[in-house]
Amino acid sequence: MGSNRWWSRETIAVVTGSNKGLGLAIARGLAMEGVTTILTARDELRGWETVDSLKQDERIDPSLIHFHRLDVTSASSIQEFARWIKTKFGGLDILVNNAGISGATPGALTNLENSKAVIDTNYLAVRKLTESLISLMRPSSHGARIVNVSSGTSRLDALQNQALAHKISNIDELSMEAIDEIVKEYLEDVEHGRVIEKGWSRMFGAYDYCFSKIALNAYTRVLARDLSKLPEGHKIFANCMCPGVTSTAMSRNNGHSAEVGADTAIWLALRPAIESSSGRFFSKRNDVGFDRIPFYIEKVVYTSDLEDFMECMRKQERTRKSWREKTK
Ligand SMILES: NC(=O)c1ccc[n+]([C@@H]2O[C@H](COP(=O)([O-])OP(=O)(O)OC[C@H]3O[C@@H](n4cnc5c(N)ncnc54)[C@H](OP(=O)(O)O)[C@@H]3O)[C@@H](O)[C@H]2O)c1
């Protein structure tokens, strides 16, 4: 990224859920580029252990690494974190919303408690944290950046319910209130056992995960649209990305390395303003849109679990086709 380098050690980046997996790889990558990087984790001990190991990495200047506890689902933790950032650094330039849970419910559709937990972490927490930090994002000619780690499972063509797909992708009319309404509708459908009937997405058998990332994407688009009204010198770019199938605890160690998965998030965080777009979805450094996000895996490194995943994808595609035939 050398020649387009606009950042320095004065540039402050925050990465949520960075004690392991993709968050750690994103934080490591930013620090290796010379950005002051704040790792965060809900578990203080796990967080400090990660920081200690990063500081041993010869490719990184240890003075660039900082840590603060942050449970993204806790209002008081967010508040305390925002206060700390303001006092210690005066603000931030890059926010990577990475923390997430899969909420997988093997063998079962889902249940209200699970749905709420997944939506709280993967969507609502991003919204609340972003809202708390946005006023601390520092104005500059380079623009500040919000990178939301989403997933290919949010692709809109996997939503069998076309009316919902239209509503959520109609960006001109979409508002935060409309997204809240859609979340409410989803939770009511879970409560009343209507998720199949209503045609919600179920890639990899994970209704809640798919929905939480669809809501996250919709939020990012509305946010980007609102932020686009900011004047020059105060720009904030907000985008989503998919790391592809990445070998972490969440994927049960299927997929490419966390370094490969982290690449697009780091690239988006450090892209020069002149090349930056906002409110878009990226995979493998490409703007791929929200409708048919490609399934990305760099190198097939998998256990038998991935074959199950692939079979789920094929099954999903068949169901989608027959559902469309029926509702023509
Ligand atoms: N791996 C993939 O194939 C893949 C594909 C597409 C998208 N993603 C997305 O990539 C992101 C990172 O996932 P990963 O694969 O790296 O999974 P991971 O290894 O399970 O890491 C998830 C991270 O999020 C943290 N986290 C969860 N809930 C939190 C909370 N309430 N507050 C703060 N931190 C919290 C976890 O902390 P603990 O250690 O305390 O649990 C952990 O650090 C997620 O948003 C995921 O949806 C992953």
Closest CA to ligand 1's atom 29: 99
pLDDT of residue 318: 67
Q: Is 207 a catalytic residue?
A: yes
Q: What is the mean pLDDT of each run of 10 residues along the chain (328 residues)?
A: 84 98 98 98 98 97 98 98 98 98 84 97 98 97 97 92 91 95 97 94 87 98 97 96 95 91 98 95 96 82 56 62 61
Enclosing domain of residue 227 = 2-327
pLDDT score recorded for residue 7: 98
Q: Is 43 in the pocket of ligand 1 (CB under 6 A)?
A: yes
- What pLDDT does residue 185 have? 97
Query: pLDDT at position 63, please?
Result: 98
At 74 the pLDDT is: 98
Ligand 1 mean position to 100 CA, how many Å?
A: 4
Q: Report the domain count for the chain.
A: 1
H or E element at residue 13:
strand 12-15
- In this prediction, residue 261 carries a pLDDT of 97
Name the strand (E) or helix (H) holding 61: none
The CATH number covering residue 232 comes to 3.40.50.720
Tell me, in angstroms, the distance from the centre of ligand 1 to residue 231's CA: 34
CA-proximal residue: ligand 1, atom 19 (nearest): 21
The pLDDT of residue 136 is 98
Query: Whole-angstrom distance between the N-terminal and C-terminal Cα of the chain?
Result: 48
Which residue's CA is minimally distant from atom 2 of ligand 1?
A: 246
The CA-CA-CA angle for residues 221, 133, 32, to 5°, reads 90
44 lines ligand 1 (CB under 6 A): no
Question: Is any ligand 1 atom within 6 A of the Cβ of residue 179?
Answer: no
3-class DSSP string for 228-282: CCCCCCCCEEEEEEECCCECCCCCCCCCECHHHHHHHHHHHHHCCHHHCCCCCEE
**Size (the chain), residues:** 328
pLDDT at 298: 84
CA 16–ligand 1 middle distance (angstroms): 9
> Mutate which of 153, 245, 246, 264 to test ligand 1's pocket (most atoms within 8 Å of Cβ)?
246
Predicted TM-score of the model (pTM): 0.94
Residue 247's pLDDT is 93
Nearest to 12 by CA among 48, 71, 64, 62: 64
Nearest residue by C-alpha to atom 46 in ligand 1: 100
Dist. CA 322 → ligand 1 center (Å): 34
Distance 20 CA to ligand 1 centre (A): 8
Task: State if residue 103 touches ligand 1 by the CB under 6 angstroms criterion.
Answer: no
Identify which of 22, 38, 72 to mutate to test ligand 1's pocket (most ligand atoms within 8 A of the CB): 22
